[in-house]
Amino acid sequence: MTDVRENVAVATVNSALQHLEYGHADSSWMALEQIDAEWGGKSYVMSARANVASILDRDANAVREGITFVSQSPDDGDAWIQLASALEFGPDAADLAPDSLDTPLEVLRTGLIHVGESDEIDVRLALAGYAHQDGLFDEAITQCDAVLDLQADHPNAIWQRANSRAALSFATNGMTVASATGESNHYDEILFSEAVADYERVIQMRSGVMELRLDYARDLMFAGRMDEADRQIGEAETLHPNDPLPMTYRAWWLMETGESARGEQLLSEALAFDPVPDATLVLAARYGINDSPDIETLLLQWTQQGPYYVYNPRQYYYQARQTVQPWMRTLR
């Protein structure tokens, strides 16, 4: 028979998550604080507390909650993922973790040893994402391949592999993208064709995902395939009209196809949104729009300050800011 007090704990967590949808992280935290200590060790409570603590920049709380979570439930993939996230957003609190678990990559690599088969996919995908972000594209691809061995049609694994294959195809030749249509577009054509095949495959599964379309468009632009990029940006614009992210990519495309005036105007319009997408700020720095700092200075600031969360009222969730992605480092 279920203890009614646990039902109350479950309801409280659900209420806390609902507060997040409306941008009320403080209210969410207060709700979680009210949960009886007897139920504080439940996985759904620890997961929610770690997440909300990170959103509120309470990094020590988030890391401690994550450490407790993995200690009590080492076979639970969400425990390792939450600890990795807490360390990503709170690296200054890494000294609270054991030396072998003080970076997201080490946390997730260790987690793979402990998690049950049902959680292996989630941990591998999280590891692939962090590996990609750190420029370890081979490792990211390997993790995606392992996921696809377990589930051959997993869309997120195909998407991440497409992203990492494209990045590796450019990195293989030391590519620095000075201009998406310039002479710097030297890349490994075999690797890039594999990335394109993955993108085309996952788009058949997730045709309505704006971010997927824009990832594909970005990599097509890096390869100088502007007509194909144009089509993908157009699809994203149709999916989310008047959204600053497709607006930003359209501005990028215009700047790189000789329509600088229109591109600058559109990028300035995207900068007026709140919150401003990271990609918008990076491209504004790339093209010197609205007195933006140069791109090296901007990315150095982000690296020093670290990522954080901000509420996006257009999509009803807290989104990460200042996460430096590999493609951003290639822009000059």
Q: What is the dihedral of CA 181, 182, 188, 190, to 10 degrees?
A: 30
Q: Please, what are the domains in the chain?
A: 1-114 (1.25.40.10), 116-212 (1.25.40.10)
Predicted confidence band of residue 2 (pLDDT cuts 50, 70, 90): low
Predicted confidence band of residue 176 (pLDDT cuts 50, 70, 90): very low
Distances in Å between the Cα of 243 and the Cα atoms of 144, 228, 246, 292, 295 are 30, 21, 6, 21, 23
Strand 308-312 relative to strand 317-321: parallel, antiparallel, unpaired? antiparallel
Q: Each residue of 85-135: pLDDT tens digit?
A: 999 999 999 899 988 898 999 999 999 999 988 899 999 999 999 999 999
Nearest residue to 166 (alpha-carbon basis) of 209, 200, 204: 200
Question: Is residue 177 scored above 70 in pLDDT?
Answer: no
Q: Does residue 144 contact residue 128 with C-beta atoms inside 8 Å?
A: yes
Predicted confidence band of residue 179 (pLDDT cuts 50, 70, 90): very low
Predicted confidence band of residue 36 (pLDDT cuts 50, 70, 90): confident
Mean pLDDT of 58-72: 95
What share of the chain in percent tops pLDDT 90?
83
Predicted confidence band of residue 313 (pLDDT cuts 50, 70, 90): very high
Q: For residue 82, what are its two tokens? A: 């939450």
Cβ neighbours for 116, distance < 8 A, ≥ 6 positions apart? 75, 77
Alpha helices, H only, 117-188: 117-133, 137-150, 155-171
Q: Each residue of 233-290: pLDDT tens digit?
A: 999 999 999 999 999 999 999 999 999 999 999 999 999 999 999 999 999 999 999 8
Question: Is residue 315 scored above 90 in pLDDT?
Answer: no
Q: For residue 199, what are its two tokens? A: 């993108």
Please state, in angstroms and rounded to a whole number, the distance separating the CA atoms of residues 96 and 99: 9
Higher pLDDT, 102 or 147: 147
Mean pLDDT of 214-218: 99
Question: Is residue 183 scored above 90 in pLDDT?
Answer: no
pTM of the shown model: 0.93
Q: Establish whether the linkage from the previous residue to 275 is cis, with ω within 30° of 0.
A: yes
The three-class DSSP label of residue 243 is coil
